[in-house]
Structure 1
């Protein structure tokens, strides 16, 4: 009798253990705390790298900007260097210098030329590729994107040799048509020569961003516009452009930040053109202070000022974009 009771109780116990909503007990059952910890383990490497290579350097730069190395006479006559808190003196010294402001004005003018030309040409190429033959689209995108893959220093050296009067192929072209050869590295043209390098190298990146945005637009919208009698030009202006405005804001933001932080092209071109001075743009002045004069504290203050300017311009771009999007 006892055996029959156990036999009847066995299936019931099994049914209870396998009831819906109940996980089987045992060592293989996952623990709830393990699931909570997993996301943090996945993001830990990224947070660690972000902290080591961005947050800590920024914090150290802020710390340096409020101090200055003062030289004083020691007890036995030897000079001693001590780090002294000076508050905002380093920031004031940077802002009172005419070199910084002239370089900042030059960087601003550089951005006013480079950003609209680059974005305009990138948009034209993106629209052309969007309606082009599919077989030629990949090849065309690759050709346009290649200049962006060339490092800025290499691109500047390459263009520098083409600008130089002894190695420039443009001299023969101008001579053939009876025009004097312009001095691309002289005072009047070196600025525009650098603008040309930046435009040449920046079109590819912006074109890829805009073309990707165009590729994500449903084709049914174009078909509906064509049924209504819209031409391809009207579709591009009234349909495509409004839909890629967010991507254009994204590229505009990167263009503004890049203009404020322009450095590689003028610094490399400096060896080829005597017209480019050590403080030609703000980052070149910061580099001169840090590595040529040893004023690391003042250079840190200059870097903080440039970062704040870039941050302020970025907020301005977002604010203007938000007002345009809301219709204000």
Structure 2
């Protein structure tokens, strides 16, 4: 295990330790250098309205987008697993294909579709004679980003659910058929209970992904700078603090705090999902 532990320490533990170290110092504006400030940066972040605004935004994104995405993925997996769906292999590939598209490319594709002066949205508005469809406006941009993420990751989650469905023992289906269970009862009494573990895993991955939201809003920002700010998500806030503002210590503090919050929420979901009879 020594080679793995060495790579793990260098690629995972060392960056985390370095970030924690940065978060405990603060750059001196006039004299240069940095000074140890303990937890002052964390106290400052806890009172930072920009941080909490970005955190609230990704929380709304999580609460709305993740259930929709997982429900669609679950329906797709159940449909493909059903013997009643013709060309199941074709639909499995089609649904999974968007996940194979890099996030940057996917966002550029949808950005072209969303553009209200070019692309599909502009064409529809031209046909209607008014700006009815404006996906990149301030009121709709978060939902537009949610649509992109859902399109990207339905196939990934569908594959998780489908893989879990394929390992359900055939004896359970035979017992359900003997008891007179129909298709809907088989789903609720056999398939969904067997999918519980995979649903928990997919939910945890989705929670982590929601709090790490960065690529989609960052790429769309040039198209709608008034709707997507530099602190639109916590990751964008940390990125811009570091690379545009050279506030490396404060940026590390934001990143560490978000990592702790994400870990706690994911752990709660895992413990809740692993409870028997929950």
Matched residues in 1 for 2:53 and 2:121: separation? 31
What SS does the corresponding residue of 1:207 show, helix, strand or coil?
helix
Q: Which residue of 2 aligns with 1:295?
A: 247
Describe the shift of the 1:233–1:280 C-alpha distance in structure 2 as closer, same or farther (beyond 3 A): same
Question: Offset at 1:136?
Answer: 2.2
User: Is the 2:108–2:219 contact (alpha carbons within 8 Å) kept by the matching residues of 1?
Assistant: yes
Question: Offset at 1:172?
Answer: 3.9
1:118 aligns to 2:76 (yes or no): no
Question: Offset at 1:148?
Answer: 1.1
> Alpha-carbon deviations, 1:95-150, whole Å to 9, x = none?
21100000000000000111101110000000001114687232221111111111
What SS does the corresponding residue of 1:186 show, helix, strand or coil?
coil
Matched residues in 2 for 1:121 and 1:97: separation? 36
Q: Which residue of 1 aligns with 2:14?
A: 56
What SS does the corresponding residue of 1:81 show, helix, strand or coil?
coil
User: Is the 1:145–1:205 contact (alpha carbons within 8 Å) kept by the matching residues of 2?
Assistant: yes
Match among 263, 278, 281 for residue 230 of structure 2:
278
Question: Offset at 1:234?
Answer: 1.3
Matched residues in 2 for 1:257 and 1:249: separation? 12
1:196 aligns to 2:147 (yes or no): yes
Question: Offset at 1:81?
Answer: 1.9
> Alpha-carbon deviations, 1:152-185, whole Å to 9, x = none?
1111111000000233224444665787531111
What SS does the corresponding residue of 1:112 show, helix, strand or coil?
helix
Matched residues in 1 for 2:116 and 2:85: separation? 42
1:169 aligns to 2:120 (yes or no): yes
Question: Offset at 1:45?
Answer: 2.6
Q: Which residue of 2 aligns with 1:96?
A: 47
Question: Offset at 1:44?
Answer: 2.6
Query: What TM-score results when the alignment is normalised by the length of structure 1?
Result: 0.80
User: Is the 1:175–1:181 contact (alpha carbons within 8 Å) kept by the matching residues of 2?
Assistant: no
> Alpha-carbon deviations, 1:217-268, whole Å to 9, x = none?
0122112212222111111112100111000000000011111111111111
Match among 179, 184, 188 for residue 237 of structure 1:
188
Describe the shift of the 1:69–1:170 C-alpha distance in structure 2 as closer, same or farther (beyond 3 A): closer
User: Is the 2:45–2:51 contact (alpha carbons within 8 Å) kept by the matching residues of 1?
Assistant: yes
Give unmatched runs, 5+ long, in structure 2.
Answer: none
Describe the shift of the 1:133–1:322 C-alpha distance in structure 2 as closer, same or farther (beyond 3 A): closer
1:210 aligns to 2:161 (yes or no): yes
Matched residues in 2 for 1:311 and 1:280: separation? 21
Q: How does 1:116-195 map to 2 (within 5 A)?
A: 116-132=67-83, 136-173=87-124, 181-195=132-146
1:315 aligns to 2:273 (yes or no): no
User: Is the 1:171–1:181 contact (alpha carbons within 8 Å) kept by the matching residues of 2?
Assistant: no
Question: Offset at 1:286?
Answer: 0.6
What SS does the corresponding residue of 2:32 show, helix, strand or coil?
strand
Number of corresponding residues: 277
Query: What TM-score results when the alignment is normalised by the length of structure 2?
Result: 0.94
CA-atom RMSD in angstroms: 1.8
Give unmatched runs, 5+ long, in structure 1.
Answer: 1-42, 73-79
Question: Offset at 1:91?
Answer: 1.0
Q: Which residue of 1 aligns with 2:215?
A: 264
> Alpha-carbon deviations, 1:46-79, whole Å to 9, x = none?
222211111000000001100112145xxxxxxx
**Which structure is richer in relative contact order (CA contacts within 8 A, separation 6 or more)?**
2
